[in-house]
Amino acid sequence: MIYVDNRERPEVINVGKRVFPDMIVKQLKIGDVEYKDLVIERKEVADFLSSIPDGRLKKQALNMQPYPFRFIIIEGDFDHLRAKSRRYRRYSNKTILGMIASLEMKYNIRVLRVNNTQQFWLLVNRLIVKMENEQVIEYSKIYKPKITAVNKKDIPLSMICCIPGISERKGKLITDNFELKQLYTLEVDDLIKVKGIGKGLASKIKEVFK
């Protein structure tokens, strides 16, 4: 079942229902669209730029971490917005690309862009179809964390970091707290005691070691 946040504008939701007639509208804690292991944050260009200086974008990126498949889809054109409004002219291409690079590299979030709301929902549909058919670009290959040379011989850490969503930093936190054999018997409530491990990620770890 696909969910859309009820704080989205009615016209956005209406366009979405043409693509997903059975879509459920409710308040989401994370993202604007949710489907199984996939979460999508929809950002119109003005909202994307406004959320950079107040730190809102980084906070949203952190909140999305428990989901294996994370996307921010930007709707609109930055150049058109800056030409239309002086308010946004202070955001240079360097600033915009720097934030996109940070989202991609630091937070492992794919950033995509569309021209309008219709394209947004069509792209959401394709992402879901690809994921369901297991034809999506393999998450483990795209986002597999790079293990430093020092830690390559650390077998437990290497195993943990093969789980989608586990960075080397998070993997180190887990292996510092638990032995590898413990992970086969630990419960979700035990895992979430580790700082940075939410229920979603803990459930995935539990499933892998089951």
pLDDT at 2: 95
pLDDT at 75: 97
Say how far apart CA 172 and CA 78 lie, in whole Å: 39
pLDDT at 71: 97
Q: What is the CATH number of domain 144-208?
A: 1.10.150
Q: What are the residue ranges of helices labelled H in the chain? A: 10-19, 45-50, 56-63, 78-84, 93-105, 117-132, 139-143, 155-160, 168-177, 188-191, 199-208
Amino acid at the residue 72: I
Q: Which fold has domain 3-132?
A: Rossmann fold (3.40.50)
Q: Please tell me whether the overall predicted TM-score, pTM, comes out greater than 0.85 for this model.
A: no
Give every residue of the chain whose pLDDT is below 70, as ranges: 134-153
pLDDT digits (tens, 9 = 90+) for 67-124: 989 999 999 999 999 999 999 999 999 999 999 999 999 899 999 999 999 999 999 9
Domain boundaries defined on the chain: 3-132, 144-208
pLDDT at 184: 83
